[in-house]
Chain A
Amino acid sequence: MFRLYTRLISIRIRSQMQYPLSFLFDTLGSGFGTLSEFIALWAVFTRFGTVGGWTMPEVALLYGLAETSFATMDMVFSGYDPTFFSTQIQRGMFDQMLLRPLSLPVQIFGSEFIVRRLGRIGQGLAVLLLSFFLNPIQWTLVKIILVPIVIVSTIAFFGGLFIVGATICFWTVESLEAINIFTYGGTTMISYPMHIYGDWVRRFFTFVVPAALLTYYPALYFLGKPDPFGMPPVMPFLAPVAGFAVLATAFAFWQVGVRHYQSTGS
């Protein structure tokens, strides 16, 4: 199973590497594209000093976690990217997948793997490492272990959003833009400290779509900041629960979508 998956993505990777120079520029371009976003963020800080009481390096920690995770997800879950998956359905590729004696996730994960996302991943990692350097973080073993856990959990969270988006394509492709607001907008949102948002927004993204658990609470913990909402001290460690709950829910929804597709064939 895993060998077939690696075989499938190696096809996608090879075809993207066919023109090495243009691949290189694409990768660098996608990295610099988001870097300019970060520079804009920086400009806001030089003008206002802090955002919600957080300094630039502190927000950079949030931003670095969100960017690294989202970009990695965007590469690994390329096959579930709603924009891509909707064209796959329209081109009849999903029918072809149903005709293969191979599990659907293996086929969909294997159907695309956009390597140039490495540019954005690299940019996110650079900001993250910079923030580690600029913030006076008291590193402990728990904190060191928590960093990769937070990243993997956030990947799972955004992967879940992609899968939900892809599943919606079984019903309609008209709402594609709305789906993209959730995924792309989601990263921007969790790049800022939660407490700058209104109360209901924060509650929604803590208890319903648990985005705040992924980066905000761990960031508070890394930076040694008190929780302004007085939540239980376990909050910084709930990232994996939140991330994988969203991913599991998304897969359950996906099953419903596949059944709907098979009964409508739209």
Chain B
Amino acid sequence: MESIISVADLRKEFKVFRHHRGVSGAIRNLFTHEHRLVKAVDGVTFAIEPGELIGYLGPNGAGKSTTLKILTGILVPSSGEVRVSGRVPWRERRAHVARIGAVFGQRNTLWWDLPVIESLDLLKHIYRVPADRYQQNLNTFRDLLGLDEFLQTPVRSLSLGQLMRANLAAALLHDPDILFLDEPTIGLDVVAKERIRQFIQQINRQRATTVILTTHDLSEVEKLCERVMIIDHGRLLFDGQLEELRQRFGGERELVVDFAEVYEEVSVEGAEVATREGQRVTYRFSRGAVTASTLIGRLSAKYRILDLSVREPEIEATVRRIYEERLLDK
């Protein structure tokens, strides 16, 4: 299968000018151009197949948004090759953007003074969506995103969650091949987040739309994506299946045990005591070294147990480990 997006050795450097303060500084700014180079994207290579749903992870300033801006054609890279559906995004801007949808964080793309429905109608004309296709899509999105409750409301009066729903619908009216989402659930409450995640998943499954979403919320990736790319300091630290990430770096699991009484000695072979609070003891053990059931067997042979639970490592902690320990540095 032909990759829908291919990126080879992508680099983007920014000049950051040093600004001097005060009046004398302002005069110096006019004549000096002191700057340093910031490598926002520093040699990134990847390929994405049609229909994938990819989580693009990284802390703030890691280069996620810069990558997305290049893929959508807003920015021109310093070097490297990019092909999106066979096109170089910034060279054929209009043909390119006609086939993609994009929602950048809390940036609103709709007309502030217009009711949502009129904004969508205007987009129909801008993207030249056939009338019947427009109606079909609108009906689907009204249903999936619950647009009806605010379709007649001016965009400026929408809540943050409604704004995101309206913008998602707007980004998909023209049946784009690829949907770029930059932090799509940032600032939303749990219910709104869940709704948007479900929608993204449905679009990806039912329409086979390729979706790339950046986030620093890892639970989002856990719920949505199979494939994860992690970027930091402009470099890809990881590109693979979520499960693989968990297995390679999420080795540490936790077993929480509530004993029937307070024991002096609670140690057990194959695990270490992480915390201890009265009758509740938390053990930490390595996935490779021992299974949870072996551990439970050993414990229940020695002690009376009321309750227990196994905690999987949060991917958040996993990624933090990758960052902190530089596990993937070559």
Chain A residues in the interface with B (C-beta under 8 A)? 3-4, 7-8, 11, 14-15, 18, 92, 95-96, 98-103, 174, 259, 262-266
Contacts and interface: CB of A to CB of B under 8 A. Distances in A.
14 contacts: A8-B122, A11-B111, A11-B114, A18-B113, A95-B74, A98-B74, A101-B95, A103-B94, A174-B29, A259-B76, A262-B74, A263-B76, A263-B78, A265-B74
A11 B156 CA distance: 14
A155 B10 CA distance: 44
Q: Give the top 3 A-B pairs by smallest Cβ distance, nearest first.
A: A15-B113, A101-B98, A262-B76
Contacts of B98: 101
B318 interface: no
Contacts of B76: 259, 262-263
B75 A265 contact: yes
A90 to B, nearest CB: 12
A102 B94 contact: yes
B14 to A, nearest CB: 7
Contacts of A263: 75-76, 78
A98 B69 CA distance: 10
Contacts of A265: 14, 66, 69, 74-75
Contacts of A7: 122, 125
B75 A101 contact: no
Contact of B104 (A8, A14, A92, A101): A92
B102 A99 contact: yes
A85 B73 CA distance: 21
B74 A102 contact: no
Most A C-beta atoms less than 10 A away, residue of B15, B78, B113 = B113
B72 interface: yes
A101 B97 contact: yes
Contacts, number: 60
B127 interface: yes
Interface in B114-145: 114, 122, 125-127
Contacts of A4: 125-126
A170 to B, nearest CB: 13
Contacts of B73: 98-99
A92 B126 CA distance: 19
B211 to A, nearest CB: 16
Interface of B: 14-15, 29, 66, 69, 72-76, 78, 90, 93-95, 97-98, 102, 104, 107, 109, 111, 113-114, 122, 125-127
Chain A interface helix/strand/loop/mixed:
helix
A18 B72 CA distance: 36
A254 to B, nearest CB: 15
A264 B102 CA distance: 20
Contacts of B126: 4, 100-102
Given A7-B125, A262-B90, A265-B74, A95 B69 contact: yes
A14 B113 contact: yes
Most B C-beta atoms less than 10 A away, residue of A8, A96, A103, A174 = A96
Nearest to A18: B113
Contacts of B95: 101
Contacts of B94: 101-103
Nearest to A263: B76
B75 to A, nearest CB: 5
A227 to B, nearest CB: 40
Nearest to A3: B125
A236 B115 CA distance: 50
A8 B126 CA distance: 10
A3 B66 CA distance: 34
Nearest to B126: A102
A14 B112 CA distance: 12
B93 A264 contact: no
A99 B74 CA distance: 7
Given A95-B107, A98-B93, A99-B74, A264 B127 contact: no
Contacts of A8: 122
Contacts of B97: 98-101
A8 B118 CA distance: 11
Given A11-B113, A101-B95, A263-B76, 11 more contacts: A18-B113, A95-B107, A98-B72, A98-B74, A100-B97, A102-B126, A259-B76, A263-B78, A265-B14, A265-B66, A265-B74
Contacts of B72: 98-99
A8 B114 CA distance: 11
Contacts of A11: 111, 113-114, 122
A264 B77 CA distance: 9
